[in-house]
């Protein structure tokens, strides 16, 4: 999940001009696109198969009820390779891929793995969990500032800092959780997560930065391999 954002798709679309943010469903894009026709059709098939497995996994968990996944394509040709998960105005999960990511994928397995990873973020309730972490941390930082004698403005600044820190504290763990469940979803959808995870070889390694958003690529690959081994998959 390159960007974990808590917003409804309707608000997202309202905030962006038609020129800067236009989306289509995977099926619509596959029907209309002229360039990259093969990639679009492959993406549509992956979207259908992974979406169905994600829905099954989502419904299997009693703490998640909104399980109707929609996959959209960001049509902006200048948008960088990216994928993220959000919610629509009915709180149903939406996964958005940029064209650049779709076109840069070497195979269907890579697309399936990225999609399974994003679906896992929703199933594992990472958006509300991140929001709760931010709220709790903001309250703690604000109270510490108050006890330290800060005025209203100082308390507000402390709360903002606390929210930012709280939102980041467990985010690397969230990524690894999503890699684990995403591996299972990818496998159950009929794709090879070990091949899919080769995508990590082509993206920058974030390293182990304090308050970074992603764990090191090697750590993520290890999670995928360990999970795949439990599924009986070794190559």
47-58: pLDDT as tens digits = 999 999 999 999
CB-based burial label for 151 (10 Å; 0-12, 13-18, 19+): exposed
65-79: pLDDT as tens digits = 799 999 999 999 899
φ/ψ of residue 36, rounded to 5:
55, 40
- The total of structural domains in the chain comes to 3
**Residue 189 within a domain:** yes
Which pLDDT score, from 0 to 100, does residue 133 have?
Answer: 67
- Considering the domain architecture, whether residues 86 and 22 belong to the same structural domain is answered as yes
CATH of the domain at 21: 3.30.2010.10
The whole-angstrom separation of Cα 118 and Cα 108 is 15
Task: Name the token pair of 235.
Answer: 């190559």
Q: Is the pLDDT of residue 19 over 60?
A: no
pLDDT level of residue 214 (50, 70, 90 thresholds) = low
- Considering the domain architecture, whether residues 38 and 110 belong to the same structural domain is answered as yes
Q: Is the pLDDT of residue 8 over 70?
A: no
**Residue 235 within a domain:** no
Place of tokens 């703690």: 140
Residue bearing the bigger pLDDT, 7 or 227: 227
**Residue 45 within a domain:** yes
The full DSSP string for 115-136 is HHHHHHHHHTTHHHHHHHHHHH
Q: What is the pTM of this model?
A: 0.77
What range defines the domain where residue 79 resides? 9-124
């Amino acid at each position: 999940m390159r960007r974990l954002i808590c917003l409804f798709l309707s608000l997202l679309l309202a905030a962006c001009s038609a020129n800067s943010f236009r989306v289509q469903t995977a099926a619509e894009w596959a029907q209309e696109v002229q360039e990259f026709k093969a990639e679009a059709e492959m993406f549509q098939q992956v979207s259908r198969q992974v979406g169905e497995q994600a829905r099954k996994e989502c419904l299997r968990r009693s703490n998640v009820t909104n399980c109707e996944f929609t996959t959209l394509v960001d049509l902006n040709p200048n948008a960088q390779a990216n994928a993220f998960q959000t919610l629509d105005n009915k709180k149903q999960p939406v996964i958005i891929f940029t064209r650049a990511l779709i076109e840069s994928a070497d195979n269907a397995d890579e697309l399936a793995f990225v999609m399974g990873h994003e679906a896992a973020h929703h199933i594992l309730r990472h958006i509300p969990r991140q929001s709760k972490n931010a709220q709790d941390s903001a309250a703690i930082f604000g109270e510490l500032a108050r006890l330290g004698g800060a005025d209203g403005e100082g308390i507000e600044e402390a709360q903002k800092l606390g929210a930012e820190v709280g939102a980041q504290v467990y985010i690397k763990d969230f990524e690894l959780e999503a890699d684990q469940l995403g591996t299972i979803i990818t496998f159950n959808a009929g794709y090879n997560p070990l091949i899919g995870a080769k995508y990590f070889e082509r993206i920058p390694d974030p390293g182990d930065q304090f308050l970074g958003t992603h764990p090191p690529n090697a750590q993520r690959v290890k999670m995928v391999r360990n999970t795949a081994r439990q599924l009986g998959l070794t190559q």
